Amino acid sequence: MENLKDSAPLLTKAVPHLVDSIFVRGEGAYVWDHSDKRYLDFTSGIGVTNTGHCHPKVVAAIHEQADLLVHTHQNTAFHRPLLQLLEVLHEITPPELDTYYFANSGAEVVEGAVKLARQATGRTNIIAFQYSFHGRTVMTMSLSSSKTIYRGGYQPLMPGVFFAPYAYCYRCPMAEADPEKFGFDKDCTWPLDQVEFLLKSQTSPEETAAILVEPVIGEGGYIVPPPRFLQGLRKICDKQEILLIIDEIQSGFGRTGRFFAFEHFGIIPDILLMAKGIASGMPLSCVASRREIMDASSPGSHGGTYGGNAVACAAAVASINVLKEENLPENAARLGKKLLNRLQELKEKHPCIGDVRGLGLMVGVEFVQPGTRIPHAAKAKAVQKACVDNGMLILTCGSYENVIRWIPPLVINEDHLDEGLSIFEGALKKTANI
């Protein structure tokens, strides 16, 4: 197994890795490398293995389907797992969203949604948000603003994209200037006012097809907005006949304590985007929308060879059933509260922690220079490395790369969480001088 490392240089340098190991197996919340070292995996394959590594029911569904039919193109004929997946998805999505389209990746469904919105409205422009991440294709890079590493060297990108401030209350310039008037728990409309200003100054409603938004920012820093923000976007879209596209690629499938994060905010999107946790690691993504919107798309306008693959669909059916049968969204909500409380306690002891925020098991810890709000990326990286060295895989994120994101499998129990928190607290102490 060690000799396999000789093949690593064949990979492009554009694929960095967190651990200099070869992972050979996984089970539940753990993975093991080639030397049989065990890691607590609080990355979940970046929000993919919500049902844990190699859940027996998901593995059984993959095996069973692989013996029957691996692939047939969805434009050729339906297959049973596809029809079964439609049934289980329709049970967990709003009844208004009654039509579905399948692809392989998050970027593909983002592109599909934008193309759909343009065809359905006859308009061209898209409003997206600062700190957002929607993919690495040319179109989805154009819609992302979390880091320059995703866009640098590829300009000019797709025109017709306009960025508004996200409701990032910890770094809101208005809240810093006047905390008595602006902030998460205040009746503040500043981010919504900026969207309205965009519609007055840069892209008129008559040329704006959609507003694209993550209900909880992922790659850009695990940012949870106040409910009034998404509710206000819904009102703006209704008033101006703009479509609201909700990107649940990272926040979906129980991650935030409900099947979808938008449920926390009392809204329903016009177009819903799903990927990552939908199939426990098999490549699958989905667009859901209303029939009249979907029917506006011309036949063959979006597609791909592998979308709706039979084995991936079987894995998705099993994954969704596991989420329901084992009450994993509820588990995420319960343990997420404990995680937030414990991290808040650590924040009181460690002034390098500027903010703790999250929904369910989608939690961010933002590091700053003590006594300030100056981002402290070096501290975040040092804490991450110390965690990895002590057997816990965890990721950073954020435009300043100063946020550690907690994104464990939803099958974890209190013992797993306590183990992770103990490793994290040890990492804070180990890096006290940084």
DSSP one-letter string for 57-92: HHHHHHHHHHHH-S---TTT---HHHHHHHHHHHHH
Cα–Cα distance measured from residue 105 to residue 158, given in angstroms and rounded to the nearest whole number? 20
Cα–Cα distance measured from residue 211 to residue 194, given in angstroms and rounded to the nearest whole number? 13
Within this chain, do residues 144 and 132 fall inside the same structural domain, yes or no?
yes
Summarize the confidence of residues 86-106 as an average pLDDT.
97
How many CB atoms neighbour CB 202 within 10 A? Answer: 13
Within this chain, do residues 284 and 416 fall inside the same structural domain, yes or no?
no
Within this chain, do residues 190 and 289 fall inside the same structural domain, yes or no?
yes
For 100-162, give the DSSP string.
EEEESSHHHHHHHHHHHHHHHHS--EEEEETT----SSHHHHHT--S-GGGTTT--S--SSEE
Cα–Cα distance measured from residue 210 to residue 125, given in angstroms and rounded to the nearest whole number? 7
Q: How many CA atoms lie within 13 A of 413 on its CB side?
A: 3
Does 379 have pLDDT greater than 90?
yes
Q: Give the total number of structural domains in the chain.
A: 2
What pLDDT, on a 0 to 100 scale, did the predictor assign at position 2?
56
Summarize the confidence of residues 13-24 as an average pLDDT.
81
Domain end: 325, 344, 374, which one? 325
Q: What pLDDT digit, counting tens, does each position of 153-190 carry?
A: 999 999 999 999 999 999 988 877 777 777 788 788 99
Within this chain, do residues 107 and 144 fall inside the same structural domain, yes or no?
yes
pLDDT bin (cut points 50, 70, 90) of residue 5 is: low
Structure-token pair, residue 254:
């129980």
Summarize the confidence of residues 318-338 as an average pLDDT.
98
Q: What pLDDT digit, counting tens, does each position of 219-278 carry?
A: 999 999 999 999 999 999 999 999 999 999 999 999 999 999 999 999 999 999 999 999
**What residues does 396 pair with on adjacent strands?**
404
Within this chain, do residues 135 and 30 fall inside the same structural domain, yes or no?
no
Within this chain, do residues 22 and 131 fall inside the same structural domain, yes or no?
no
Within this chain, do residues 48 and 188 fall inside the same structural domain, yes or no?
no
What pLDDT, on a 0 to 100 scale, did the predictor assign at position 181?
77
Within this chain, do residues 308 and 344 fall inside the same structural domain, yes or no?
no
Share of the chain above pLDDT 70, in %: 97
Identify the residue whose tokens are 């926040």.
251
What pLDDT, on a 0 to 100 scale, did the predictor assign at position 4?
65
Which CA distances in Å does 224 have to 97, 251, 356, 364?
24, 11, 10, 9
pLDDT bin (cut points 50, 70, 90) of residue 411 is: very high
CATH number of the domain that residue 402 is part of: 3.90.1150.10
Q: What pLDDT digit, counting tens, does each position of 191-235 carry?
A: 999 999 999 999 999 999 999 999 999 999 999 999 999 999 999
What pLDDT, on a 0 to 100 scale, did the predictor assign at position 205?
98
What pLDDT, on a 0 to 100 scale, did the predictor assign at position 147?
95
Domain end: 310, 325, 340, which one? 325
Cα–Cα distance measured from residue 68 to residue 29, given in angstroms and rounded to the nearest whole number? 30
Q: What pLDDT digit, counting tens, does each position of 104-157 carry?
A: 999 999 999 999 999 999 999 999 999 999 999 999 999 999 999 999 999 999
Does 18 have pLDDT greater than 80?
yes
Backbone φ and ψ of 429, nearest 5°: -70, -40
Within this chain, do residues 160 and 275 fall inside the same structural domain, yes or no?
yes
Summarize the confidence of residues 89-108 as an average pLDDT.
97
Which domain, by its residues, includes 289? 58-325
Within this chain, do residues 48 and 86 fall inside the same structural domain, yes or no?
no
Q: What pLDDT digit, counting tens, does each position of 346-359 carry?
A: 999 999 999 999 99
- Report how many helices (DSSP H) and strands (DSSP E) the chain contains, helices first: 13, 15
CATH number of the domain that residue 152 is part of: 3.40.640.10
Amino acid residing at 283: P
Within this chain, do residues 346 and 299 fall inside the same structural domain, yes or no?
no
pLDDT bin (cut points 50, 70, 90) of residue 3 is: low
Domain end: 290, 325, 360, which one? 325
136 in Cβ contact with 150 (< 8 Å): yes
Residue 156: cis peptide before it, omega within 30 degrees of 0: yes
CA 287 to chain CA mean position, Å? 15
Q: What is the mean pLDDT of the chain?
A: 95
Within this chain, do residues 306 and 356 fall inside the same structural domain, yes or no?
no
Does 14 have pLDDT greater than 70?
no
